[in-house]
Amino acid sequence: MRGLSGVVVRPLNFTVRCHVHKLMLLRQPLAALAVSTLLAGCDAFGFNSTREVAKRLLFQPNGKLDEAATSAALNARFPPGSRFNDLQSFAQSLGGRCGHSQGRSWCDIPLRGVICDTRVMSLSVVTRSDDSIEHIQATELARTC
């Protein structure tokens, strides 16, 4: 149907139906987006650099453990007076083990490895008579077959 100016004019009900149809088509992707956001949480549209920051703080660019930074971090996490058992639980949660032998306390935490070459973060722990921590020194050791 043509209007006064010669331009094709569609009936109002056709225009409304067309817009409603377009909205219906948009509703499906928006619903899918809403569901995926709900399932994934806000991280779906965010970022998390926590692991990379920790890695760059504790390891040198060549991949070796930064022993000074790691020792400082461990001494901050387990300050003098902390229970050795707390450090032991921490090490065990990372697949490590701790113990006492020949008057010294220690923990070994595996870092990475292949078949016969394992890199371990070895902790030398100075303890007090009540088995609380005085100081922790971290070094990286290679364990081979």
pLDDT score recorded for residue 103: 83
Whether the per-residue pLDDT at 17 is higher than 80: the answer is no
* H-type alpha helices, 6-83: 12-40, 50-58, 67-77
Is residue 110 within 8 Å of residue 126, measured between CB atoms?
no
Mean pLDDT of 27-38: 68
Structure tokens, 9: 């004019």
Average pLDDT of span 19-27: 61
Using CB atoms within 10 Å of the CB of residue 136, give its burial: 0 to 12 exposed, 13 to 18 middle, 19+ buried. buried
Is this structure's pTM higher than 0.75?
A: no
Please compute, for residue 70, the number of CA atoms within 13 A of its CA located in the half-sphere on the CB side. 20
- Distance (Å, whole) CA 97 – CA 36: 41
Q: Which helix (H) or strand (E) holds 88?
A: helix 84-93
Please name the helix (run of DSSP H) or strand (run of DSSP E) that holds residue 110, with its range, or none: strand 104-114
Mean pLDDT (whole number) for 85-100: 97
Query: What is the DSSP code (8-state) at residue 43?
Result: G
- For the chain, the farthest-separated pair of C-alpha atoms sits apart, in whole angstroms, at 104
How confident is the model over 50-74, as a mean pLDDT? Answer: 96
Report the chain's terminal Cα–Cα distance, integer Å.
88
Q: What's at 96, amino acid-wise?
A: G
Predicted confidence band of residue 44 (pLDDT cuts 50, 70, 90): low
